[in-house]
Amino acid sequence: MTDAAVAPSPPLWRRLLGFNLLTGVVLGIGGWYVGWFGAHSIVGPSLDYFGDIDYNELSVYLAYIGGIVGFLVGLGFFNYPFARLRGYPPSLREKETGGWTRYFSLCTDHKVVGIQYLWGIGLFFFIGGLNAMLIRTELLRPHHQVFPAGTYLTLVGMHGTMMMGMMSSGILGPFANYLIPIMIGARRMAFPRIEALTFWLLMAAGAILTTTIFFGGFPTGWTGYAPLSNEGNPGMDNYILFFALVGISMTLLGLNMIATIVTMRAPGLTWTRLPIFAWGVLSTAVLMVLAAPVLVAVLAMEALDRTAQTTFFVAAAGGSNYLYENLFWVFGHPEVYILALPGFAIVLELLPVFSRKPLWGYRLAVGGLLGVSLLSWFVWQHHLFVSGINGDLRPFYMLSTELISIPTGFTFLCGMMTLWRGSIRFTVPMLFCLAWFFNFLLGGLSGVFLSDVPSDVTTHGSFFSMAHFHYTIMGGLVFTFFAAIYYWVPKMTGWELNERLGKIHFWTMFVFFNSTFAPLFAIGFLGQPRRAVTYASGLQFLNDWVSVSAFCLGISMLIFLFNLVWSLGFVKKPAEANPWGSRSIEFQLPSPVPVHNFDRIPVFSSDPYGYGEGPPPSWVPAGATAGRD
Amino acid sequence: MAANPNAAPAPPSDRTNHGMRVVVAWLVLSAIATPLVAVFVGHLIPPGNGSSQGTEQVFDNTLMLTVITPILCLLAVFFVYGLRSFHASSSGAVLDGPPLRGDSQIQILWIVGTSVIVLFLAGFGTFELLQNGAGGGQGPDPIAVPGGQKMQVQVIGQQWQFTYRYPSLGGIESNQLVLPADTDVELHVTSLDVIHSFWAYELGVKADANPGVDNVAYVKTKSPQVFHVRCAELCGLWHGYMYNNGRVVDSAQFHSWASQQEKLYAAIKPFMDKPEADGGAPFGHTYLPAPERRAG
């Protein structure tokens, strides 16, 4: 494990060049211009390179593809394959280099990647949240007032796309990357370079979507429906490139998770001893691997429609917009469970710790996660109930959509029965988990209305469905995201988060989240359609209420940000190794976890939920064999 | 507050039958709340009684709200009772709870219960849907077709307005939807450019307008009223301004409106009827998509 120490120091030019975020950005910008000028020499060469963006989609695509390649070269992703091609030994430099610079370069330590993900996703989550604030500012009045109509649509689209794209990896990126190898007793992920690649691709994607504002934005919202997307500004190409990159990143992330969990479990860690969090990650990863390629494919078709006039989605030329809608939702519905399932897993993982009881009904909980994962493939046309496609399949999709509430109910039953007669501690992560029950119950029950065709006729495309998916995704995913932050960040960074600020954050977020989204059910029932800049003047009071609540929700997020910066940047109170009294293995290691996780690969003899069943078994039996890494 | 992972097991629990208390409280609360919701809340849910389809949706929503009320009650009772009764003492050591790892009876009861509710709701929804289509767009080959005489109206979406065409009135067109009262209407929704969605809120009608597709929806109007039409699918820059009022009027008013429109329309009718190649209006009389391009 000390190969790097004996490796020869790299030559001076390479030390100066660095291979870090800075060179990545510099080469990325260089690559962007190479692509831009290259495409102009293929299509429509012009002296005025920047004046004709409306007419040259190809240059936007090639510019960003060149930019991505340059970015990856600058980060050093091609060093390893080229070194191997030229017969040099592989370098472990990516893992061994210490210090803070690791966080700004290609690093194959799964713990560094986890923390990179946390801050990287946090940054784009913040940008997405700012968009939401601007949307609610616009909706303070029934007619459009602050932003031009096109800018408003861009804000709506950027908010939705950023949140969906980034938060798909919101739990698996930071927490699964950091914790799965530790939980299964491994020293790394199965494919460490691919692990780093998923993160940096996501960052490149985020930059691409943010720069859509320089190309006129895009009018379609996060669904990107054709044929509207065929007539969008070049900013539409940024949407396509963003989501395609996110799709590639998700596919690779999912593959990596599956390979790691299936092949790298330590001795004794049988499937029924696997932490429920790992089961949640596994079921999510399967969805990612199978769903995200469909997204990449449909976006490739859309990119061809826009550049090569293939007319896949143009009815007048023999295409069909249903093709886009179907392919998009084949990805899109598993996608919402990609967002929801990690939340289920975190709730089930944390409840035993804070009620001091074993996870109730382990097998039922696993069955619930896998059942949701399976059923999520058979429900997508409920997004198309009134679209005019397959009128005779609507009863089937109504049934399958309602069936999915059965395995979802397993999570509720197992969670509630774990609380039952427990010794509940209302810590900050526990409060976020308990809030999940409230939010997801309302989100799930409102989903029953949307799944029922007669009721969906009114609620479809209205603020009701918008409230529904904010309850399930923000109430389900983002609340558990914060639970995971408060629960695991002390372990990941070695510093405690302030509990009082955490509680203030929780209560303000819980109150203002509900105050923001509960009225939206009523607003939707009263006839306000989504994504419209105008609404009936009679709905202004409710809309203003929602806007003010949303601003308060934004302030609550600032409290969290302050807590994070204050606790980790200034107070730096060292965290205990096991602040929550957890029996999970990551809390038996020091905080933060050392570079190679374990001195010896642990041997498991039980699941981590044996509260009340005597002292936990030793992870490191005497005479254990040396690690397998 | 940090608990010792090796904490001693809890002392033998008291003999209180917590489960029975929760079940009784739930039954009492549900018995009170469910009828109240069914009677007083359900009928307040939109879209209201503007059409037969709207009435049906209100009934559907009322039933679902009635079904989910006991579920909400169960969770409310469980959490209020559970979080009050089972929290760790604020001082002293945190004790472990009893190591319960499952109970097959509760699991089976839960699975059977949720399955029954789900299957009932799906069956009921299907039954309601097949009555008269519930006002939703059903595509070119509708399966839930109300019987009897129907007035055809074509709804043509384009960026950013709807145009209404009345084939039975000589093909007149209007930018306001006017319908006779107490009439079965067959709406043919289509689009000239991108996807729109025709949403007549008070009538309980929503059908996507797809280019090249004839999306059929049914509505049976009731008494005269004004209703709102909005586009419910993002269709570009001025999507937010794609709305208008429509009117349901009594038979006499409808006929006077129709003859007035016919007079207005007479001046441009020859132009509209002429094929585009002969200098006629673009898209004149070609709104109904050709059969071979129908999706479904």
Chain-chain contact of B215 with A526 (C-beta, under 8 angstroms): no
In tens, the pLDDT along A101-139 reads 788 888 889 999 999 999 999 999 999 999 999 999 999
All domains of chain A in start order, with CATH: 18-90+100-106 (no CATH), 107-588 (1.20.210.10)
Q: From chain B, pick out residues whose CB is under 8 angstroms from the CB of A419.
A: 82-83, 86
Residue A594 burial (C-beta neighbours within 10 Å; 0-12, 13-18, 19+): exposed
Q: What's the 3-state SS for A30-82?
A: HHHHHHHHHHHHHCCCCCCCCCCHHHCHHHHHHHHHHHHHHHHHHHCCCHHHH
Placement of tokens 């419910």 in the chain: B232
Give me the pLDDT at residue A12, please: 62
Chain-chain contact of A388 with B138 (C-beta, under 8 angstroms): yes
Partner residue facing A361 (CB), from B102, B141, B296: B102
Give me the pLDDT at residue B73, please: 95
**Buried b / exposed e along B34-66 (16+ C-beta atoms within 10 A):** beebbeeebeebbbbebbbbbbbbbebbbbbbb
Q: From chain A, pick out residues whose CB is under 8 angstroms from the CB of B218.
A: none
Give me the pLDDT at residue A233, please: 85
Chain-chain contact of B234 with A576 (C-beta, under 8 angstroms): no
Quick count: other Cβ atoms within 10 Å of Cβ A138?
19
Task: Label residue A83 by pLDDT band (50, 70, 90).
Answer: confident
Partner residue facing B204 (CB), from A458, A529, A578: A458
Task: Label residue A382 by pLDDT band (50, 70, 90).
Answer: very high
Residue B93 sits at the chain A interface (C-beta within 8 Å): no
Residue B7 has pLDDT above 80, yes or no: no
pLDDT over 90 percentage in chain B = 56
Query: Average pLDDT of B103-118?
Result: 94
Give A414's strand partners. none
Task: Label residue B2 by pLDDT band (50, 70, 90).
Answer: very low
Give me the pLDDT at residue A105, please: 86
| β B184-191/B178-180 pair status | unpaired
Q: Is B95 helix (H, G, I), strand (E, B) or coil?
A: coil
Q: Is B190 helix (H, G, I), strand (E, B) or coil?
A: strand
Residue A422 has pLDDT above 70, yes or no: yes
Ordered strands of the B178-180 beta sheet: B178-180, B243-249, B225-231, B196-200, B205-209
Within 8 A by CB and 6+ apart from B227, the residues are B50, B200, B201, B202, B203, B245, B246, B247, B248
- B195, B198, B276, B283: which to substitute to probe chain A, counting the most A Cβ within 10 Å? B195
Chain-chain contact of A421 with B100 (C-beta, under 8 angstroms): yes
Give me the pLDDT at residue B16, please: 78
CA-based diameter of chain A, in Å? 78
- Residue ranges with strand state E in A99-160: none
Residue B98 sits at the chain A interface (C-beta within 8 Å): yes
Give me the pLDDT at residue A55, please: 60
Phi-psi domain of A612 (left: phi exceeds 0; alpha: psi -120 through 50; beta: other): left
Q: How far is A316 from chain B (nearest CA, A)?
A: 7
Q: How far is B56 from chain A (nearest CA, A)?
A: 8
Of A405-414, A465-474, A537-546, B271-280, least confident by mean pLDDT is B271-280
> Domain map of chain B by residue range?
18-84+108-134, 151-289
Chain-chain contact of A386 with B45 (C-beta, under 8 angstroms): no
In tens, the pLDDT along B165-206 reads 888 887 788 899 999 999 999 999 999 889 999 999 999 999
Give me the pLDDT at residue A140, please: 93
- Residue ranges with strand state E in chain B: 151-158, 161-166, 172-174, 178-180, 184-191, 196-200, 205-209, 215-220, 225-231, 243-249
Averaged pLDDT score across all residues of chain A: 90
Ordered strands of the B184-191 beta sheet: B172-174, B161-166, B151-158, B184-191, B215-220
Quick count: other Cβ atoms within 10 Å of Cβ A145?
12
Q: Which residue has the higher pLDDT, A573 or A316?
A: A573
DSSP B96: B
Q: Return d(Cα B261, Cα B269) in angstroms, integer.
A: 11
Give me the pLDDT at residue A2, please: 43
Of A293-297, A507-511, B50-54, B169-173, least confident by mean pLDDT is B169-173
What is the CATH number that goes with domain B151-289? 2.60.40.420
Q: Which two tokens stand for residue A211?
A: 């720069």
- A312, A378, A387, A500: which to substitute to probe chain B, counting the most B Cβ within 10 Å? A387
Of A2-16, A590-604, A611-625, B62-76, least confident by mean pLDDT is A2-16
Q: Return d(Cα A242, Cα A162) in angstroms, integer.
A: 9
In tens, the pLDDT along A142-183 reads 988 899 888 999 999 999 999 999 999 999 999 999 999 999
Chain-chain contact of B87 with A149 (C-beta, under 8 angstroms): no
Considering the entire predicted model, what is its pTM?
Answer: 0.92
Q: Return d(Cα A622, Cα A574) in angstroms, integer.
A: 30
Chain-chain contact of B72 with A441 (C-beta, under 8 angstroms): yes
